[in-house]
Amino acid sequence: MISAIIGKKIGMTTIFDEKGLTVPVTLIEAGPVTVIQVRTLERDGYSAVQLGFGEKKLQRANKPELGHAKKAGTSPKRVLKELRVEADKVAGFSLGQVIKLADVGFAKGDFVDVIGTSIGKGMAGVMKRYHFHGYDAGHGTHEYKRHGGSIGTNTTPGRTLKGKKMPGHLGNARATVMSLKVADVRPDENLILIRGAVPGHDNSIVVVRVAKKKKAKKAPEKAA
């Protein structure tokens, strides 16, 4: 099966762990998702599945979207995302197949990566955008405390270098938070509770995948 699923961030709350301590968690409505398209190595040059999440009103779908969904024998979906799958596992997917949270195999104690779109914050200065220290606030300094400092160079090359950290747009960009711990999984409600915060505002779309850098520790086997 796939190692990731599309979901919707519901919001944050707190739960109690086994020791009675409160744990801040983010609730994500993960799935169910529908297989809209299957890409194979022979036909497309890579192997992947296109998944659809959330229902879209028919009057809001255009003809290409209606036809694309009709090929899979399903209704238009609000979100379409493509997830890479190993070439030898693509044959296990079929058009119109519904994949639920229980099919992905997330369990309490696992580590996941969450991919979303960060909250847009508009125009921001260098202290908020890049955590600059700012200028010293003493000795008669005026209107310079939050400046970014010099942006120029000497005669050579005599220009501002590309990539210079300066004020600009902050947020509203793809963001990934890695190695978050799964606090609980409720397959009957399609809910996954993840310890900590994830990118995006409430009701935003996220992708939850198996962590690439960190794995859950297996309990030691008891001797017979």
Question: Is residue 40 located within the same domain as residue 139?
Answer: no
Q: What tens digit of pLDDT does each residue of 50-105 get?
A: 999 989 999 999 999 999 999 998 999 999 999 988 888 888 888 989 999 888 88
Question: Is residue 88 located within the same domain as residue 18?
Answer: no
23 within a domain of the structure (yes/no) = yes
Buried b or exposed e, range 14-46, using 16+ CB within 10 angstroms = eeeeeeeeebebbbbbbbbbbbbbbbeeeeeee
Which position has the token pair 């040059």?
A: 45
140 within a domain of the structure (yes/no) = yes
- Is it the case that residue 223 has pLDDT exceeding 60? no
223 within a domain of the structure (yes/no) = no
Question: Is residue 24 located within the same domain as residue 40?
Answer: no
Return the CATH number at 78. 3.30.160.810
4 within a domain of the structure (yes/no) = no
Q: Which of these, 153, 152, 145, lies nearest to 125 by C-alpha position?
A: 145
Question: Is residue 165 located within the same domain as residue 204?
Answer: no
Return the CATH number at 184. 2.40.30.10
Question: Is residue 50 located within the same domain as residue 82?
Answer: yes
Question: Is residue 115 located within the same domain as residue 210?
Answer: yes
Question: Is residue 87 located within the same domain as residue 45?
Answer: yes
Question: Is residue 43 located within the same domain as residue 143?
Answer: no
Question: Is residue 52 located within the same domain as residue 78?
Answer: yes
132 within a domain of the structure (yes/no) = yes
What are the Cα distances from residue 131, in Å, to 74, 126, 166, 206, 214?
A: 47, 7, 11, 26, 28
Number of domains comprising the chain: 3
Task: Determine the structural domain holding residue 193 and report its residue range.
Answer: 9-29+108-120+171-218
3 within a domain of the structure (yes/no) = no
% the chain with pLDDT above 70: 96
Question: Is residue 92 located within the same domain as residue 131?
Answer: no
Question: Is residue 45 located within the same domain as residue 66?
Answer: yes
Question: Is residue 155 located within the same domain as residue 203?
Answer: no
Q: Which residue has the higher pLDDT, 165 or 90?
A: 165
Q: What tens digit of pLDDT does each residue of 102-142 get?
A: 888 889 999 999 999 999 999 999 999 999 998 887 778 78
Q: Which of these, 209, 176, 215, lies nearest to 192 by C-alpha position?
A: 209
72 within a domain of the structure (yes/no) = yes
- Is it the case that residue 25 has pLDDT exceeding 80? yes
Residues in the chain: 224
Angle, vertex CA 39, rays to CA 38 and CA 44, nearest 5: 155
